[in-house]
Amino acid sequence: MKISMYDASVKPGIRMMTNLAAVLEKAAKHAEARKFDPEVLAGSRLAPDMFPLSRQVQVASDTAKLGAARLAGAEAPSYEDNEKTLPELIERAKKTAAYLESLKPQQFEGAEERTIKWKTRSTERSMQGLPYLLHQLLPNLHFHCTTAYDILRHNGVELGKMDYLGREPPA
């Protein structure tokens, strides 16, 4: 059985962004129930040299939308990276999932072989589509979603593995 690049990139992106939004909603309820400012969570980080929760969500979002768009040969929407509150971060995750849902499987035809180019903070990179998916897009998406989850869990939000994975079976 062959898996499509669409199934391997878009569907995990939708799932991770949807689950991330749900985790952030739980965090907002946690702060409300314990009567503290939820923006404390948005600014929290695991270590001094790591991004705070707000930036983890933004990078996860960028990774999902830009990665899928690159593979599809499409233009991804640009977000300002100015979210500072949990509701704004929740909306960012949902908006990213909605963008991914707009992509069509036929846009990914030939994506395995397509040369993907992108800029990092310090360099320009390129690789073929399949290695890009397996070694760049998916690991980075999971890293930033996991780190967001870990920041919230570390701050006492009652989360479990099923919050990260999602309770609904993938489509």
Q: What angle do CA 48, 94, 116 make, to 5 degrees?
A: 75
Please give the pLDDT value at position 1.
63
Does the pTM surpass 0.85? The reply is: yes
The ranges of the chain with pLDDT < 70 are 1, 169-171
Please give the pLDDT value at position 15.
96
Please give the pLDDT value at position 169.
66
- H-run or E-run covering 119: strand 115-119
For domain 5-164, say whether CATH 1.20.120.450 is its number.
yes
Please give the pLDDT value at position 77.
96
Please give the pLDDT value at position 167.
78
